[in-house]
Structures are given as C-alpha cells and as structure tokens.
Chain A
Amino acid sequence: MTVPPFERFYAENRDAVFGHLVRLLGRQRAEDAFQETFLRALRGYDSLRHGRYLRAWVFTIATRVAADEGRKRRPEPAADLDGETTDDRPTYAQIEHLADELPEKERAAVVLRYGYDLSYSDIGTALGSSEEAARQAASSGVRRLRRRLQ
C-alpha cells in the first residue's frame, strides 16, 4: 500500500489523535502536543516505505509527545498513561526483538501496548478495531512470544 498524500493522512487522523491527546493531557496541553505530533509525523513522512498502520504510527508519535510533555511538567517519570498497573506484563525490552516476527496486527497491538503504553481503547482506535479485539490481538501476540521464548 503506497503512502497517501500527507493531507489525506492528516484529514483521516487529526480528530482521533486530538481526542487521544485530550484524554492524556487535558484540553489546553493537548493543543501544543497536537501541533508537535503532526510536525514530527511530517518530518518522518517521506521516509515511510508503505502506508499500512499509519494510524497506529501517528498514535505512537502522539503518545511519545504526550510522555515528553508529562516529563516536562513533572519531576518524576510519567506513570502508566492509562492508569493500569499489572505485574506480570513483559517489559518491552524483553520482547522488542521478537515482535517483528508476529502477524502484523498482533505486532502493532504488542508494540502499542508494551512499547508505548497505549490503552486498549486507543489501540483499537489506532488499528480500526474494537477495544476487545485490540486486547485479544495483544494478548495473542504475547502468548506467541512467550512460546518462542520457552
């Protein structure tokens, strides 16, 4: 799938990304983060090799920008962005090198969940599926990775 003109990508994703940033940062700070998110996206846009999972890609940028914003405002590192705490989750460093071998949807879900701490609701939005489908894709990806690690 070829990379579409930036205008189309922007028009298709701006509202969803803005909503995501408002949830993470509140309305006021979301405005600064919004501009920074799409400027970063523009900087990398002509290096993209295909147009798949563009929404997931821009959500990862937005989440990273939000985390940077969080660090600027707070002396402590930002906590889990969706407020969820779990003990037995693998760290992303443990699974990153294996994620490339996963089916695409599972890979995107795993990367967004464990690499960028997106909530399942946001991952669902990013991948164009339901929250439950996102949860299942991430969980199935992790199971597959665990089997490979054993």
Chain B
Amino acid sequence: MTAVPKALDQRFREAATEAGLVDVSFDVADTQIGPLLLAVTERGLCRISFDPEPDRETETLARTFGVRVLRAPRELDPVRRELDEYFEGRRRDFDLPLDLRGREGFSRDILERLAKVPYGEVTTYKSLAVEAGNPRAARAVGTIMNRNPIPIVLPCHRVVGSNGSLVGYGGGLERKRLLLDLEAGTPRLDIHLS
C-alpha cells in the first residue's frame, strides 16, 4: 500500500470544500481547556464537542447534517480564532453564525434564550424554564443543557442550580468552573485537565 502524501491529502480536502461537496467540515483544536472537536456546515457552527475522538462524533454529525463529513482544518479557522480570543479574555461575544438544525420546539427556544445570557453572568435552569413560559420544566432545561450541541458559544456553563450549585456540565464540572472563573476575571486556565 502506498501512503498518500500529506500535501496531496490536504489538497484534496481543500478542493472538496471549495467545490461545495462537503456537508460538515470538522477538526480537533487544542485549547486551554483541552482538545475540542469543532464542526461547521455551510450555514454555520454546528458542533463543539468535549469528546475529541472524531469517529464517535462524525456518526452523529452524519445523521443530522449529511454523510459527507470531512476533516477540513481550514474551514474551522474562524471558529478557532474566536475561541482563542475568548480563552485569552479578549472576546466576550461570539460573532459566528450557528446551525441548530435538529433542535426544534422547546429545545430550540431554550437554546436561543441561552445565547442571550451575558458574559460573566449566570442564570438558573428554573429561570430559563420560566422565561420560556414553562416554569415546571427546569429538569427538561437541564437535559437540554446537557445535550447542548455548541457549548462555550451557547454558554450552558452560565446556567446553575437555584441554590447556586454548579449542578452539572457536559464537559465535566472542572471545565464549568474554569469557564466561570475566566469570565469572572480570575482565570485558572493553566490547570491541567485529564
């Protein structure tokens, strides 16, 4: 078997996206809170995953957005740049278009409300449920946060329990704490995460 030269592999990936033949482009980015899998469609950012193993995530992406899922690092440059700025404390809001296909109804409504929770502030599961006109749905809001397809950019780390406890986080409570500390101006991003 003859290994494909790296430059040729890269040329193909770029040609594929330039020709508009890719449903989802993804890459794994090294960030201050560990490796993140990032994915975009032609509509916008569609996934940030704390699980950097592409095999698992690409299956889900293929089911939601189409099977033509390809690792294409260049397509993720704008996302990587904004995340870097955020982690360095130079960015408070993201200017990235989002693709929330697959999240409809109540779930979509809650994610759109979540997007408006300001940098450095927190809200509660219950408050989001009340805002959405369904005060008894705090637990459902928790589930929606847990399945948030675009954490960090859709800031589910800013949602806590009514008593102020962190409750949970898809990326682990340690990351939630780090993000909240970063936004409070007391970053501890040099902490090693396993």
On A, residues with C-beta under 8 Å from B are: 3-8, 10, 14-16, 18-19, 22, 31, 34-35, 38-39, 42-43, 45-46, 48
Chain B residues lying within 8 Å of A39, measured Cβ to Cβ, are 12, 15-16, 19, 21
| Nearest CB in chain A: distance from B188 CB, A | 35
Q: Do residues A38 and B16 form an inter-chain contact, with CB atoms below 8 A? A: yes
- Excluding A14-B4, A16-B1, A42-B21, 20 further A-B contacts by CB distance (< 8 Å) are A3-B67, A4-B59, A5-B58, A5-B61, A5-B62, A5-B69, A6-B67, A14-B9, A15-B1, A15-B4, A19-B1, A22-B2, A31-B8, A34-B8, A34-B12, A38-B12, A39-B16, A42-B22, A46-B23, A46-B68
Given contacts A14-B9, A16-B1, A35-B8, contact A5 B67 (CB under 8 A): yes
What residues on A are CB-neighbors of B23 within 8 Å? Answer: 46
Residue of B nearest to A20 (CB): B2
Q: Given A16-B1, A39-B16, A39-B21: A7 and B58 within 8 A (CB)?
A: yes
Q: Is the CB of A19 within 8 A of B2?
A: yes
A35 to B7, CA, bound (A): 11
30 contacts between A and B (CB under 8 A): A4-B59, A5-B69, A6-B68, A7-B70, A8-B55, A14-B4, A15-B3, A15-B4, A18-B2, A18-B3, A18-B4, A18-B8, A19-B2, A31-B8, A34-B12, A35-B8, A35-B12, A38-B16, A39-B15, A39-B16, A39-B21, A42-B16, A42-B19, A42-B22, A42-B70, A45-B67, A46-B23, A46-B66, A46-B67, A48-B67
Residues of chain B whose beta carbon lies under 8 Å from any beta carbon of chain A: 1-5, 8-9, 11-12, 15-16, 19, 21-23, 26, 54-55, 58-59, 61-62, 66-71
Q: Of all chain A residues, which has the CB nearest B9?
A: A14
CB closest residue in chain A, given B61: A5
Query: Among the listed B4, B22, B61, B71, which residue makes an inter-chain contact with A34, where contact means beta carbons less than 8 Å apart?
Result: B4
In this complex, what residue of A is CB-closest to B8?
A31
**Cross-chain contact B21 with A43 (CB below 8 angstroms):** yes
Residues of the A chain whose Cβ atoms lie less than 8 Å from the Cβ of B22: 6, 42
Assembly CA distance A95 to B96 (angstroms) = 55
* Cα distance, A13 to B36, chains bound together (Å): 26
| A66 CA / B58 CA spacing, docked (Å) | 31
Q: Distance in Å from the Cβ of A7 to the closest Cβ of chain B?
A: 5
Q: Is the CB–CB distance between B1 and A42 below 8 Å? A: no
A145 to B140 CA separation, bound complex (whole angstroms): 61
Q: Give the CA-CA distance A35 to B16 in the complex, in Å.
A: 9
- Name the residue in A7, A14, A18, A45 with the highest tally of chain B Cβ atoms < 10 Å from its Cβ: A7
Q: From B4, B11, B71, give the contact of A7 (CB < 8 A).
A: B71
Q: Complex Cα distance A42/B1, Å?
A: 22
CA of A18 to CA of B19, assembled, Å: 21
CA of A34 to CA of B13, assembled, Å = 12
Cβ-closest chain A residue relative to B71: A7
A10 neighbours in B (Cβ, 8 Å): 70
Q: Would you give the shortest CB distance from B19 to chain A, in whole angstroms?
A: 6
Complex Cα distance, B158 from A52, in Å, reads 45
Known: A5-B61, A46-B67. A15 touches B2 (CB 8 A): yes
In this complex, what residue of A is CB-closest to B55?
A8
Docked Cα-Cα span, A31 to B67, in Å, equals: 25
